[in-house]
Amino acid sequence: MPHPTPAEAPSIAPSTIPNWADVRSRVARTGWAADTLDAVRADFEHWQTRLRLPGPDQVSAWTHHYFCDDDGEPLRFDSARPNEHVCPGCGRTYRGDPWDGAWRTRMHNMAAAQSQRAALLARLGDDEDSRAAAGEALTRIVTHYASHYRSYELHGVNVGKARVTPQNLDESVWIIGLLRSVRWAGPHLAESTRAAARALAADVADVLAPQLGMIHNIHCWIVAALAECAVATGDAELLATATDGPFGARAQLLEGMHPEGLWFEVNPHYHFYAVNALLSFVEVAGPEALAGEPAQRLLRAVQAPAELAYTDGRVPAYGDGWPDSFLGTFAQTAEVASALLPGASTALVPPYLDDRPAPVQVWFGAGHVAGPSGERVGRYSVGALVFGAETLPDGSDGAQPGSFVWRGPGIGLLRSRLARVAIRFGPDAGWHDHHDKLAVDVECGQWRSLDLGTSGYGADITVWMRSQVAHNVIVVGDRPQPPHDGELVHADDRSLTARSSWNGAEVSRSLALTGSGWTDELQVVCDPGTPLEWLFHGDGTIVAATGAAVEPPTDDLGHAWLTDVRALSAHDGAVDVTWDHPDAPRLSLTMPAGWTALRADAPANPSGLPLGVVAVRGPALVGTTTLRATFVVEAVTA
């Protein structure tokens, strides 16, 4: 496609260009900003001697391969060992591809992150020599990729094609990092470097533009990348496509973001991933590009997760969500949104701040790009440094939202002084859905029954984390749920009922808060004799009288991952258990005659505690099969 000259570049709203004079003043006046810049400087110096840019002869691979098969831990990225990749948890070493290729992708992302550090230091360095050195470092990175981009092999096996990285998603994130850095550095770079960046932007746009074609978090990043390319090259037509096209930023928000403010893929990882992409779009295209309802949905998308979170800020890892997702992980998102979105304010930020130490984050879409500067507590991110306010409102009232229902994504939440109980009943969430309709997750004091989320997609343990048995569901007919939609039947502040149909069964689940805890009732209508299995797990090992050991079945439902499986005895048609956690509720489950009950241990509890599983199993009855669970809270830690 033809690429207009820079003189034809569309204008960018001044509010989206960092005010570097204000940033310098903030560094001089506030300790957190100065400390953030010091961390950026330390990480920059560290990577100056360790950055090893893979050349066109070294093909990259999917970073989701960079996880341990045995425990799901991310492998240790060592810049000096491109052919040796060790699990920090169990010590297992991986060699060869795809791990070598994933290492290369990580290194390309490191280069993009290093380019941002260089841009910041070119603007904010202490003296002329340090600013010049930073500009030279950025020039070397940009020149390398601009000179060799077309020589990298066009490849990809998962979601589209790319050259430097293994797919169009990674290519988008990577080029945003480079072009944002050039845009931030501005006049501190030679014209030859800016010209190289324009040429690189044109080449990347030629790869990415034909691949923009759906409503998806990946395509949000393609949109943001194309906007950066368009502004760099002055391509007004490309910017219009990225903004108003059928899969542009406005369409992504109107079709992909529920009005309640949750991305259609539901889980926090992809929710914030999409939000960060769209904020990146706003940064380069200007807030007026999303004027109206799209901008309101993006603002709501930053507000909503705090309503769904647990008391410690953990956001439920529904579907393919990373299980360690906390609001604090995404504090930078709130900092940037507070400055870029119409109607936003600094009140967005306090709910995202917590006391968990974390590395200083660059404003970048790829993870795992920190250096050795050490962890900090507070407003330590490049987003806060560049876009955040000097001071924030107190935000210390500690108030939590009450019960609510989000009909769009299909989430209902009941909250009392004793418990927080949520159910998911809504539409299928696409490729990242675990097909666990009517699953529940619970918080009771410091005891949790969490959704396990997902590890790296290439890791064996992900098979367990996606399985039916890993969720608080009812399994019908010894088969996984197919993709399908559920619906809400009733909701008020103390109770809700949802239903769905799969595998030939109509299933209804009702939750209700009580003065001592909550109740959970399942009703199933299906062919008599159909195998049914009710599952529920929580923090700790099951405490109950047990019988003989039981060999779990080998199937594709997840039973093979259970250990120490033992029979439970029923008394008067009910099974009574608890967990060895001080805040655990006591569960009494009434089940039909002839059903059996088991307890077991399972892996991958996000809390780090043992995961105790209760399972009851039996044939469907004539008419309606009813399972009623009563949870009584006997002690809750304040």
> What pLDDT score does 11 carry?
46
> Which runs of E-coded beta strand occur in 34-172?
85-86, 93-94
**pLDDT, tens digit, 9 for 90 and up, residues 279-289:** 999 999 998 99
Q: How far apart are CA 487 and CA 411, in angstroms?
A: 10
DSSP secondary structure code for residue 633 in this structure: -
Q: How far apart are CA 318 and CA 459, in angstroms?
A: 18
Lowest pLDDT segment from 10-14, 185-189, 195-199, 301-305: 10-14
Q: How far apart are CA 220 and CA 213, in angstroms?
A: 10
Measured CA angle at 523 (ends 520, 527), to 5 deg:
150
Q: How far apart are CA 265 and CA 275, in angstroms?
A: 12
Do the Cβ atoms of 46 and 405 come closer than 8 Å? no
**pLDDT, tens digit, 9 for 90 and up, residues 575-593:** 999 999 999 999 999 999 9
> What pLDDT score does 315 carry?
96
State the CB neighbour count (10 A cutoff) for residue 224. 29
Please, which contacts does 302-307 make with residues 24 or more away whose CB atoms are closer than 8 Å?
302/261, 302/275, 302/333, 302/334, 302/337, 302/341, 302/344, 302/348, 303/261, 303/348, 304/260, 304/261, 304/262, 304/406, 305/262, 305/268, 305/271, 305/272, 305/330, 306/351, 306/352, 307/401, 307/404
Return all residues near 10 (Cβ < 8 A) that are at least 6 apart.
230, 231, 234, 236, 239
Helix (H, G, I), strand (E, B) or coil at 370: coil
**pLDDT, tens digit, 9 for 90 and up, residues 288-342:** 999 999 999 999 999 999 999 999 999 999 999 888 899 999 999 999 999 999 9
> What pLDDT score does 228 carry?
96
Percentage of residues of the chain with pLDDT beyond 70:
96
For the cut 50, the answer to whether the pLDDT of residue 5 exceeds it is no
Statement: the pTM of the whole predicted model exceeds 0.85: yes
Lowest pLDDT segment from 2-11, 115-124, 167-176, 570-579: 2-11
> What pLDDT score does 398 carry?
57
Q: Tokens 């619970």 appear where?
A: 442
**pLDDT, tens digit, 9 for 90 and up, residues 553-572:** 889 999 999 999 999 999 88
Q: Tokens 């949104």 appear where?
A: 337
Return all residues near 518 (Cβ < 8 A) that are at least 6 apart.
414, 416, 418, 419, 421, 511, 512, 631
> What pLDDT score does 6 carry?
35
For the cut 90, the answer to whether the pLDDT of residue 14 exceeds it is no
> What pLDDT score does 3 carry?
36
In angstroms, the Cα distances linking 589 to 65, 468, 595, 615 are: 41, 20, 12, 10
Average pLDDT over residues 528-540: 98
State the CB neighbour count (10 A cutoff) for residue 393. 12
**pLDDT, tens digit, 9 for 90 and up, residues 342-364:** 999 999 999 999 999 999 999 99
Average pLDDT over residues 392-421: 89
Helix (H, G, I), strand (E, B) or coil at 368: coil
Helix (H, G, I), strand (E, B) or coil at 519: strand
Q: Which domains are seen in the chain, by residue range?
A: 6-387 (1.50.10.100), 404-632 (2.70.98.70)
The closest of 267, 316, 327, 324 to 451, measured between CA atoms, is 316
